[in-house]
Amino acid sequence: MSAPLRPPIRLRCESLSEPVGVDHLAPRLSWLIESPVRDERPQAYQVLVASSIGPLRDGVGELWDSGRLEASGPPSLAYGGRPLVSGTRYFWRVRWWDREGRPSPWSEPASFVTGFMKAEDWKAGWIGPRSVTEFRSRGTVLLGHPGPEDLQAFAVYLRGEFRLNGPVALALIFISGLGHYELRLNGVKVGTSVLDPGWTDYKKKALYASYDVTRLVRDRNAVGVILGNGRHIKSYGYDGPKLACRIEVVYEGGGREVFAADESWKTSGGPIRENGLYFGERTDARVNIDGWDRPGFDDRAWVSAAPATGYPLASQMMPPVRVGEALAPVSVRRLGSEAWIFDYGQNFSGWTRLRVEGPAGTEIHLRHAELLNDDGTLNLGPNENAEATDVYILRGGGPETFEPRFTYHGFRYVEMTGFPGEPGPGTLEGLFVHSDVARTGELRASNGLVERIHRAVVWGQLSNLMSIPTDCPQRDERHGWLGDAHLSAEEAVFNFDMAAFYAKFLDDIRLAQRDDGSLPDVAPAYLPRLYPADPAWSSAYPTLVELLWDHYGDRRVVEDHYASLERYIAFLGRNADQGLIRSLGKYGDWCPPGGIVPKKTPVDLTSTWYYYHDVLILGRLASVLGRGDDARRYSELAGSIKDAFNAAYLGQDQYAAIRVSPVDAYPNQTSNVLPLYLDMVPAEKKDKVVESLLRSVVRQQDYHLDTGILGTRFLLDVLTGIGQAQTAWRVATQKSYPGWGYMLAEGATTLWERWEKLTGPAMNSQNHIMLGSIDGWFYRVLAGLAPLRPGWEIVGVRPHVLGDLTFVEAAVETVRGRVAVSWRKSDEAFTLEVSIPVCATGEVHLPRLWPEAEISESGKTLRSPRQTAESAAGIAFLRDEKDRVVFSVGSGTYRFEAKKTS
Ligand code: BGC
């Protein structure tokens, strides 16, 4: 008798757990299946959706019963039942059938709550303070870039009350407060998000968040909202702070009531006297508005809110920014008589939580920096124009706590001045703030440098997820640079669940597209001068769509963006000159060793290469959508770009490089890496180009890279692909300049923007993520994990035993479940443990480390000198390769061992 089937687990709607605010007409429901049986493969699924749990328990889905649907793709189905109604909770459950046709038990129920299914359903208007000038402060510069209009620095406090008329079944608050809001109900903060809503181009789309407040409402209620500036400011073309807020109550009897923020709400200034994303926040706790967020507060001195012009709204369907890990300082040092320097031992994004007790009016300043000067003072250079200073003025009379709300900093060190007395261990905690994407990947290796680079990438990546992928968290920039985003995206999807985050960012990119099909360098396009983008930056659009297809099997994202991608490619086509893009490049192979601007790689070459790269992707996406004609058209176009590229840039034995002098004959790494990566090199010249690349990497640079951010993304892969994985390893683990190991040896805890150690007031962020692409190579090459078919339908396990490595372990939570690999090598044996989730198969490449070896799996011999391939449960021999034996495995856990016999 086989064991009973397990019910599906980890139910998600639109890849989020129990989301509130789902506004997709056919939201995707997904789940995972686990089974102790090898080679399990679900045949079918059934989903039930109901408006209450009762019927579901009886196996009835009155809103949708999918019936038994054949399984295909990752375990998920798009809702296909009766139209979903705004502001309603839906319950659902799912079951599956195994390969023998047995049904599993039903899963535990999960639920989701809808937002606004039609734009007209949102009836709340927008309100704001009557006059922005009422809240003038010191005429401060909000973002760091001087803008005479940016006078509004106070946070605005708004309040309104409502009464309920009976017991409540469901109470929801939908809110968009711009630039950022904090929502409070009856004296407590609602939800755990900070710096909400996510950044968008508000005129095109503002995001609202949705909260289930059923447990917080009472007969009489007060809603309080604090509005900060964020990016909703005049220098970006927006007017003052504004709020749309709607409270929907469903009574137990079924009746509905709506309370919306309107002109009956009152506004006031409050303790937050100044706030700006870059300069920081100033809070004067003596400003007493206690009780303002509770019912019955006397708000007669407050001013009525005024109507404000609104924006189109859509639900924020992605993990919000939250306060994550708290960091205790690793050291606290006195500096002179006034100041204390806190060192958190780690560069990160966020702020600090101050605990203090002292006389009223005591003013504490907290300045943030990534570096210290030699004399122990803060080095504010890399912050450029970001003041990055929070100020707290004590109310007095007891213990006080302060955390800023509407700013964040990129820092490792804090200078505190004005503190009354001596700080204690808990005085100033560091709070790591970032988009709260779930961690999906883990990687461990016997080589400490690999682990430290991986760790720096993880901290750097999270520091640069702030509702958009940013370039850096410390200076007055922090924009959604498209180049930085796509160069680090593969590493990000290994490490984190990026499905909803990137879906939102792709929407930002699409909204930023101009009528001529062009895209900007940054999205949201807060800096309108950045059109049209360098093609190496705007490649983020096709690159991210393809990545979501490969890692999440997300066909909808392909459908949603295909038309806009076509317009983008057409734009490039119109700007091509006989297949070459000569006019759009700006940055090219940015930040190579020794400078910011590429010195050796022609910008036209990278622009044209990305044109080819993107056309290839589009052709592939056309095939995904079954558009055969398009696929052929793009494949022909790609062919002609490739020919033009080779004609223009391929010389005798290498691709074009900018020569700085007649003796500068060495090949340029990036120029050769890019065409090798996409297999563009004519067969008869491939060996020569490979040789040229190696001449540069090995002979000229002594196993160092000489690439900017574009070449770096592909260099290690190309070396691996041409059979030079050991060379790639040496480059990846170099401890001398330029390399990742050099940065770490020089004290980096996140990756730098530049290969050089630079500390002045210039472009030298200590926390940029664009060189983090190496972490993708760790997962794919050292651990050997890759989705060989979209959505991890076939899990590739092709580890490389490199350098001094004796073990590597990695695991990724995929859309089909957990994929894991762990290998160990000794002088006598190599073991490879692999876990393949149900719904997937694995292609396991066992490295051939010795001329002869006995191969077994879980103790059962598969091959020995006397005996050839024998299959065991769930395993089939696929083929022998030069240096590997390849098996196909079904779902389950396998332990392969190769024992040296000669
Ligand atoms: C950013 C980069 C970005 C670049 C474009 C810089 O200021 O920090 O990371 O991609 O500009 O040139």
Cα–ligand 1 centroid distance for 480 (angstroms): 10
Residue nearest to atom 8 of ligand 1 (CA): 471
What pLDDT is stored for residue 419 in this prediction? 98
CB 549 within 8 A of CB 604: no
Measure the CA–CA gap between 366 and 761, rounded to whole angstroms: 20
CA of 481 from ligand 1 middle (Å) equals 7
Task: Identify any residues that bridge with 796 across adjacent strands, giving them in sequence order.
Answer: 786, 843
- Closest by alpha carbon to 346, among 675, 766, 32, 902? 766
Distance (angstroms) between ligand 1 centre and the Cα of 577 equals 27
- Distances, alpha carbon 848 to alpha carbons 452, 724, 854, 861, 884, in Å: 29, 16, 10, 16, 5
Strand partners, 28: 78
Q: What is the per-residue pLDDT across 426-445, written as a single tens digit (0 to 9) for each? A: 999 999 999 999 999 999 99
| Ligand 1 atom at shortest distance from the alpha carbon of 472 | 8
**What CA–CA distances, in Å, run from 135 to 153, 272, 275, 284?**
7, 11, 12, 14
**CB–CB of 799/823 below 8 Å?**
yes
What proportion of the chain, given as a percentage, has pLDDT over 90? 88
**Closest residue (by CA) to atom 4 of ligand 1?**
481
Q: Is the CB of 770 under 6 A from ligand 1?
A: yes
- Indicate the DSSP class of residue 146: -
Burial 786-821 (b: 16+ CB within 10 A, else e): bbbebbbbbbbbbbbbbbebeebbbbbbbbbbebbb
Q: Which of 248, 281, 415, 477 is catalytic?
A: 477
Q: Which atom of ligand 1 is nearest to the CA of 770?
A: 9
With left for phi above 0 and alpha for psi between -120 and 50, is residue 709 left, alpha or beta? Answer: alpha
Ligand 1 atom 9 nearest Cα: 471
Which of 469, 550, 511 lies closest to 205, judged by CA? 511
Angle between helices 603-624 and 555-574 (to 10 degrees): 140
Which whole-number Å values give the CA distances from 37 to 99, 274, 791, in the listed order? 11, 60, 22
Rounded to whole angstroms, what are the CA distances from 126 to 206, 245, 262, 310, 569? 12, 8, 7, 5, 38
> Measuring CA to CA, which residue among 680, 618, 698 is closest to residue 644?
680
pLDDT higher than threshold 50 for residue 144: no
| Per-residue pLDDT at 523 exceeds 60 | yes
Expressed in angstroms and rounded, the spacing between residue 175 Cα and the centre of ligand 1 is 33
Residue with the nearest Cα to atom 6 of ligand 1?
471
Q: Which uninterrupted H or E stretch holds 491?
A: helix 489-495
Residue 551, classed as helix, strand or coil, is helix
| Closest-lying ligand 1 atom to the alpha carbon of residue 587 | 12
Q: How far apart are CA 285 and CA 362, in angstroms?
A: 10
CB contact at 8 A, 535 and 519: no
Query: Using CA atoms, how far apart are residues 48 and 57, in angstroms rounded to an integer?
Result: 10
Q: Decide if pLDDT at 133 tops 60.
A: no
Residue 566 CB neighbours (<10 A): 17
Residue 253, CB half-sphere, CA atoms under 13 Å: how many?
Answer: 6
Q: Give 318-346 pLDDT, tens digit per residue.
A: 999 999 999 999 999 999 999 999 999 99
Residue 136 has pLDDT above 90, yes or no: no
Supply angle C-alpha 32, 897, 883, rounded to 5: 100
pLDDT digit string, tens, across residues 188-221: 999 999 999 999 999 999 999 999 999 999 999 9
Residue 1 has pLDDT above 80, yes or no: no
Please write the tens of the pLDDT for every residue from 167-190.
999 999 999 999 999 999 999 999
Q: What is the pLDDT of residue 660?
A: 84
**Cβ proximity of 37 and 9 under 8 Å:** no
How far apart (Å, rounded) are the C-alpha atoms in residues 541 and 548? 11
Degrees to nearest 5, angle at CA 814 with 809 and 818? 50
Helices (H) and strands (E) in the chain — how many of each?
16, 48
**DSSP alpha helix (H) spans, 104-188:** none
Give residue 139's pLDDT. Answer: 38
Answer whether 796's CB lies under 8 Å from 787's CB.
yes
DSSP 844-875: EEEE--SSSEEEEETTEEEEBTTB-----TTE
751 touches ligand 1 (CB under 6 Å):
no
Greatest alpha-carbon span in the chain: 93
Query: What is the pTM (predicted TM-score) of this model?
Result: 0.96
Q: What Cα–Cα distance (Å) separates residue 370 from each residue in 303, 474, 683?
A: 42, 8, 49
Whole-number pLDDT of residue 142: 44
Determine how many CB atoms are found less than 10 A away from the CB of residue 467: 28
How does the average pLDDT of the chain come out, rounded?
94
Which tens digits make up the pLDDT trace of 455-508? 999 999 999 999 999 999 999 999 999 999 999 999 999 999 999 999 999 999
Which of 281, 546, 753, 897 is flagged as catalytic? 753
Instruction: State if residue 534 touches ligand 1 by the CB under 6 angstroms criterion.
Output: no
Determine the distance separating the centroid of ligand 1 and the alpha carbon of 468, expressed in angstroms: 15
* Residue 24 to residue 798: CA distance in whole angstroms: 38
Atom nearest to 768 CA in ligand 1: 9
Average confidence (pLDDT) over 873-892: 93
Contact 534, 587 (CB under 8 A): yes
pLDDT at 81 over 60: yes
**Is residue 146 predicted with pLDDT exceeding 90?**
no
**Which residue's CA is the closest to the ligand 1 atom numbered 11?**
481
Q: Of 474, 587, 754, which is best to mutate to test ligand 1, by the most ligand atoms within 8 angstroms of its C-beta?
A: 587
132: pLDDT confidence band, cut at 50, 70 and 90? low
Place of tokens 């109604």: 85
Pull the structure tokens for residue 311: 């924006």
Whose Cα sits closest to atom 5 in ligand 1?
587
Residue 482 Cα: closest atom of ligand 1? 10
Place 150 in a pLDDT band, splitting at 50, 70 and 90. very low
Residue 558 to residue 400: CA distance in whole angstroms: 51
Q: Vertex 443, ends 442 and 446: CA angle to 5°?
A: 150
> Can you say whether residue 759 is alpha, beta or left, with left for phi > 0 and alpha for psi between -120 and 50 degrees?
alpha
Residue 215 CB coordination number (10 Å): 7
Least-confidence region, from 152-156, 216-220, 253-257: 152-156
Distance from Cα 471 to the centre of ligand 1, integer Å: 7
DSSP string for 557-621: HHHHHHHHHHHHHHHHHHTEETTEE-SS-SSSS-S-TT-SS-SSS-HHHHHHHHHHHHHHHHHHH
Q: Round to whole Å and give the CA distance between 665 and 659.
A: 7
**331 beta partners:** 343
Measured between alpha carbons, how far is 758 from 754 in angstroms, rounded to an integer?
Answer: 8
120: annotated active-site residue: no
**Taking Cα atoms as reference points, which of 211, 302, 279, 192 lies closest to residue 18?**
211
Q: ∠ at Cα 608 (704, 593), nearest 5°?
A: 25
Pocket test for ligand 1, best of 484, 586, 768, 769 (most atoms within 8 A of CB): 484
Note the pLDDT of residue 867.
Answer: 63
Instruction: Count Cα atoms within 13 angstroms, Cβ side, for 266.
Output: 17
753 is catalytic: yes
Local structure of residue 824 (DSSP, 8 states): E
Residues 481, 465: Cα–Cα separation, whole Å: 12
- Each residue's pLDDT tens digit, 632-678: 999 999 999 999 999 999 999 999 999 988 888 889 999 999 999 99
Calpha distance 878→874 (Å, rounded): 13
